[in-house]
Amino acid sequence: MSFDSRDPYDAAALYDMWLNCSRCPTTFDFEPGGNIDLDYYHRIGQQARRDRWAVLPARSQGSELIFTVLCPDCALRFGVQGFEGRLDGAEPVIDQICEAMLKVS
Ligand SMILES: [Zn+2]
């Protein structure tokens, strides 16, 4: 498995650079060093899923995709679960970032 722009966890990791809880100061324990490439975001995204972080994609009014990210504690507190489906349709912003990253790598 490699980076999947339709996977909300991979997409959120890429879009937000890494995952920060939106309700408390918890930051996902990202890996310092190493190559910052699509595999890196994929690893972060999938690790966050295994650790039960919640990623909630939503469309803003300008129909830009935004992600609400909750750490496992907050997800439990608010009783929400991560979005386990796949993002519908191409997300232009994320595809653009992917393309740009593939070009430089
Ligand atoms: Zn939190």
Distance (Å) from CA 104 to ligand 1 centroid: 34
Please give the pLDDT value at position 91: 67
pTM, rounded to two decimals: 0.81
Please give the pLDDT value at position 61: 76
Distance (Å) from CA 18 to ligand 1 centroid: 14
DSSP the chain: ----TTSHHHHHHHHTSS-B-SSSS-B--PPPSS--SHHHHHHHHHHHHHTT-EEEEEE-TT--EEEEEE-HHHHHHHT-----S---S--HHHHHHHHHHHHH-
Distance (Å) from CA 53 to ligand 1 centroid: 9
Average pLDDT of adjacent 10-residue blocks, the chain of 105 residues: 90 84 88 81 92 87 83 93 75 79 78
Please give the pLDDT value at position 69: 93
Distance (Å) from CA 61 to ligand 1 centroid: 25
Distance (Å) from CA 102 to ligand 1 centroid: 32
Q: Where are the domains of the chain?
A: 8-104
